Chains A and B, each alone.
Chain A
Amino acid sequence: MELVKNVVCPFCGTLCDDIVCKVENNEIVGTINACRIGHSKFVHTEGAMRWKKPMIRQGDEFVETTYDDAIEKAAHVLADAKRPLMYGWSCTDCDAQAVGVELAEETGAVIDNTASVCHGPSVLALQDVGYPICTFGEVKNRADVVVYWGCNPMHAHPRHLSRNVFSRGFFRERGRADRTLVVVDPRKSDSSKLADVHLQLDFDKDYELLDAIRTVVRGKDILYDEVAGIPREQIYEVAEVLKNAQFGILFFGMGITHSRGKHRNIDTAICLVQELNDYSKWTLIPMRGHYNVTGFNQVCTWESGYPYCVDFSTGEPRYNPGETGANDLLQNKEADAMMVIASDPGAHFPQNAIMRMAEIPVIAIEPHRTPTTEMADVIIPPAIVGMEAEGTAYRMEGVPIRMRKVVDSDLLTDKQILERIRDRVKELQASK
């Protein structure tokens, strides 16, 4: 058995880079250091279906085909569609994403990534009011007050706490003991059980609580006995903790991006962080989900000027989330073809969007059997980046990390598949 060290985990935005993979006969049979979820990604689970060949839908069944045939069909679908949608991109590498943006431009498509069902509201907010961010290294070495707002890292980013809160840093020699941990969640979550302070606020009241803390931080009084279910005195106490930090960090997640207020919640959270800088050093990091969702926002911005929801139908990139988001296009029945790559909208889009996927051609570049492939007409299986192919991914706070190849695969990479579709689309466009 061979041990491959320093492997980067291709699951969540924490991008843990200390995984050891146990390899036998060109197969990953075990891991060291990976969390429960990361381990499940690396190691094949018996019974789970992995597509080994491209597939074409025939009625309710799929039949095998060749890469050439599947790519030809995909190219025709995209070239013939009036309003194609290209969605996903968050579980693949930046080079594949760059080819994707080129393909979107070539076909006059709308290109969107999983941020639009995740931290899209955070992107809107940071464009409004700024992005006072730092790296994990700063958090580990300096942070003495850590706030997790609307996120549950013990479940969604299982090693996030151990790498950022429990870990010892240059100025935090005792690790967890040198830090104050604040968790804001309406549930008594497994993360809140570890906290020094748990603000168990009423659901959908994040904006109100953030606003109340900002009020106190600015030196004003709260006029109510409680705000968002939190007693007035506790809000004053927490504001003091935040103001007296030497280095504070706010991690935030779906609890505030998905609940009432959406991007306005994040607006006011960012403003709180900015105002806390009058007293101390404060920064924030969004708890990004997919391992390279951040990378797509970077790549798409370099290429088009906008991070997601980019519409190339006029020949120029246009950006209007709420109109050019994947869910907007599907639910409004605008999209007349869809290419899904490196994501699973079948599992994570609401019912109305999937109803549209059922009535338009769907191409899925996807290694496994998923709810999306159940809705697909063409399935093109790629090699998995970070296990069977190398590539670059961006950690949640924007640090690029090179993903390693651990085992060999006969399958084409996402980038190779996209390049072949792009080249064929160009030929079809030229012959029109």
Chain B
Amino acid sequence: MKVILNTGRTVWQGQAIESGKDLQMYVDAAAICYMDKSMMEDLGIKAGNNIKVVSEFGDVVVKVVDTVETLPEGMIYVPMGPWANRVIRPTTDCTATPSFKNIPVEIEPTEEPVLDMPTLMKVYKKAQMI
């Protein structure tokens, strides 16, 4: 299903980054996708199921949760963080600022697990440089 990805702060994500980004609290607050019930029905999924979000720039698996802040039709919301940043548009348009909001993405139900923070960062295969 083609949708628009919005990203940004939630108070739960803010609490989690200050509590500890290595905690499960961070996964629960930022590796999630807020979605309206009608979109879940269209996808044939329920809150708690995982979806894969794929954009032109990357993909990520996140858990679907009910949105408390009603979204416009066709929009999903993933809190800011390393999960959302797998799929946002990196280009800065000569402003130094990437495009974090309103990214066209494709979403599909998946059985793949949501990665925790250290495992997610291993995707980038950090090489020892010193």
Contacts and interface: CB of A to CB of B under 8 A. Distances in A.
Interface string B37-77: 00000000000000000000110000000001111100101
Contact of A377 (B6, B89, B118, B130): B130
A371 interface: yes
A59 interface: yes
A172 interface: no
Interface in B98-130: 98-102, 117-118, 120-122, 124-130
A374 B126 contact: yes
A65 B17 CA distance: 26
Given A187-B6, A187-B69, A187-B71, A352 B18 contact: no
A200 B96 contact: no
Residue in A49, A258, A263, A354 with the greatest tally of chain B CB atoms within 10 Å: A258
A374 B98 CA distance: 22
A428 interface: no
B72 to A, nearest CB: 5
B126 to A, nearest CB: 5
A350 B98 contact: yes
Given A327-B96, A328-B92, A48 B4 contact: no
Given A186-B72, A347-B85, A117 B126 contact: no
A47 interface: yes
B90 A331 contact: yes
A115 B6 CA distance: 20
Contacts of A36: 11, 14-15
Contacts of B4: 203
A327 B88 CA distance: 13
A152 B8 contact: yes
Contacts of B80: 347-348
Contact of B92 (A48, A156, A322, A354): A322
Given A49-B20, A254-B101, A347-B85, A325 B9 contact: no
A358 B17 contact: no
Contacts of B88: 350-351
Interface size of B as a range: 35 or more
Nearest to B8: A254
A235 interface: no
Nearest to B74: A203
A38 B18 CA distance: 8
Contacts of B68: 190
The B contact surface, by secondary structure, is: loop
A200 B70 CA distance: 11
A239 interface: no
A346 B20 contact: no
Given A124-B95, A348-B85, A369-B21, A258 B69 contact: no
A399 interface: no
B20 A59 contact: no
Contacts of A189: 69
Interface string A352-388: 1111011111100000111100110110000000000
Contact of B100 (A116, A203, A258): A258
A73 interface: yes
B22 A49 contact: yes
Contact of B20 (A47, A112, A120): A47
B31 to A, nearest CB: 12
A162 interface: no
Contacts of A118: 97
Interface in A293-344: 308-309, 321-328, 331, 344
Given A116-B97, A350-B98, A351-B58, A377 B129 contact: yes
A57 B93 CA distance: 35
Given A48-B22, A346-B121, A371-B82, A325 B96 contact: yes
26 contacts: A36-B14, A57-B126, A77-B130, A120-B95, A120-B97, A124-B95, A154-B11, A158-B14, A187-B6, A187-B72, A187-B77, A254-B9, A257-B97, A325-B97, A327-B96, A327-B97, A328-B92, A347-B82, A350-B88, A351-B57, A357-B124, A358-B124, A358-B127, A359-B127, A360-B129, A368-B20
